[in-house]
């Protein structure tokens, strides 16, 4: 352990980069070299699987679509150490089997075949991968292939991979349970999920391992305990055991030192704002969306809130319009803020009512 700038004791891990992130807030609880672009090995396949899942979700492809194993995608396996689903050359497998071949068996062949099926070519699919990375804000990431094979232009940061993992969990919920499946059988060949934590920690339900000589041993994982989900990324550990052990350390440390806090509930009236020239003189304000924070253990009860309203609110005001903000603090330290919105419509008053309000305003000054 070491101590960070806030006086918090944080783990020291033997790897090149790591991140521990809270899923709900995106808050980085602790990290080391989080923004250094590094070879991600098969963690690259998270973007491949994510794009396939989104294509399924959007109806662009179907689970039963036949996907062909081309010569370019075909995986020979053997002594070169390729991770393979082992679909025969020119044979076809269903798109859903191929997706499991990527997520569970980490098949380079399945990744390339799906890339060709959805992108027209692997190069076309890689362009889609990089466009999606940009959309997600993965600013330190550049993909060069769909499988994570060694390439000097295939790089990702630990923070970016945590963001990608969060996108999978949030946006691919129907397919996320695949990441927790412990084994996959195809063509008479059974392969186990390489994420060792799935066998030892019932709170862990994903996501992906990776390994090449250059990248070392990598693991992106997620755990959900007591309604709080954390995401960890380990890059360039020395062994399979090390990446699993380091992930356990991060999860245990995170859950021991932090807890979730909900400063206010969405839809509840937090304050009332004065409105001029409206059919109603005030409008209730509150949160439109759930709001949660991650705070040091034991501080959830100490969280306080303060609201600030925008000045000179004038009708018409639409329900959901931002009219202020709410700030959460604990022990004098700001923890976060959220928008306050109007909880109802306020229509603009007619001419004579507006005139009455204006005259009344003159006499009140």
CB 343 within 8 A of CB 319: yes
Return d(Cα 258, Cα 136) in angstroms, integer.
26
Which member of 31, 32, 42, 232 is catalytic? 42
Closest CA to 243 of 207, 198, 213, 210: 210
Is 42 marked active-site? Answer: yes
Return d(Cα 285, Cα 263) in angstroms, integer.
15
CA distances, 96 to each of 63, 99, 122, 194, 339 (Å): 5, 5, 19, 19, 40
Q: Strands 258-261 and 293-296: what pairing?
A: antiparallel
Return d(Cα 325, Cα 346) in angstroms, integer.
19
In terms of Cβ atoms closer than 10 Å to its own Cβ (0-12, 13-18, 19+), residue 227 is: exposed
Return d(Cα 220, Cα 347) in angstroms, integer.
50
CB 53 within 8 A of CB 170: no
Task: Retrieve residue 43's tokens.
Answer: 């963690």
Is 106 marked active-site? Answer: yes
Which member of 31, 83, 106, 157 is catalytic? 106
Task: Retrieve residue 15's tokens.
Answer: 């790897």
Is 292 marked active-site? Answer: no
Which member of 45, 112, 155, 208 is catalytic? 45
**Is 222 strand, coil or helix?**
strand
Task: Retrieve residue 181's tokens.
Answer: 């499946």
Closest CA to 248 of 211, 208, 183, 196: 196
Active site positions, annotated: 42, 45, 106
């Amino acid at each position: 352990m070491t101590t960070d700038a806030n006086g918090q004791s944080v783990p020291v891990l033997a790897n090149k980069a790591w991140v521990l992130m809270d899923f709900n807030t995106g808050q980085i609880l602790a990290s080391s070299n989080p923004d250094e672009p590094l070879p991600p090995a098969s963690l690259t396949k998270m973007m491949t699987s994510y794009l396939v899942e989104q294509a399924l979700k959007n109806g662009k492809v179907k689970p039963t679509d036949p996907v062909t194993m081309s010569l370019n995608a075909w995986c020979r396996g053997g002594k070169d150490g390729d991770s393979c689903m082992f679909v025969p050359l020119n044979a076809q497998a269903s798109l859903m089997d191929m997706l499991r071949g990527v997520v569970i068996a980490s098949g380079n062949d399945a990744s390339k075949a799906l890339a060709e099926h959805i992108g027209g070519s692997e190069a076309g699919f890689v362009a889609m991968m990089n466009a999606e990375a940009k959309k997600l804000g993965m600013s330190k990431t550049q993909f060069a292939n769909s499988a994570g094979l060694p390439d000097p232009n295939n790089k990702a940061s630990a923070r970016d991979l945590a963001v990608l993992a969060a996108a999978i969990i949030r946006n691919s919920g129907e397919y996320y349970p695949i990441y927790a499946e412990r084994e996959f059988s195809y063509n008479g060949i059974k392969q186990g999920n390489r994420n060792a934590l799935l066998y030892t920690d019932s709170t862990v339900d994903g996501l992906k391992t990776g390994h090449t000589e250059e990248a070392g041993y990598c693991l992106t994982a997620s755990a959900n305990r007591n309604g709080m989900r954390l995401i960890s990324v380990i890059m360039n550990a020395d062994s399979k055991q090390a990446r699993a052990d380091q992930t356990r350390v991060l999860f245990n440390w995170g859950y021991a030192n932090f807890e979730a806090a909900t400063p206010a509930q969405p839809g509840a009236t937090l304050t009332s704002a004065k409105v001029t020239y409206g059919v109603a003189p005030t409008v209730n304000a509150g949160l439109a969306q759930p709001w949660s924070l991650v705070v040091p253990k034991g501080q959830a009860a100490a969280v306080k809130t303060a609201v600030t309203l925008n000045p000179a609110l004038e009708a018409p005001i639409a329900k959901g319009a931002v009219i202020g903000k709410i700030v959460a603090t604990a022990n004098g330290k700001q923890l976060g803020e959220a928008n306050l919105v109007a909880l109802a419509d306020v229509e603009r008053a007619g001419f004579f009512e507006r005139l009455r309000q204006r005259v009344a305003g003159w006499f009140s000054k």
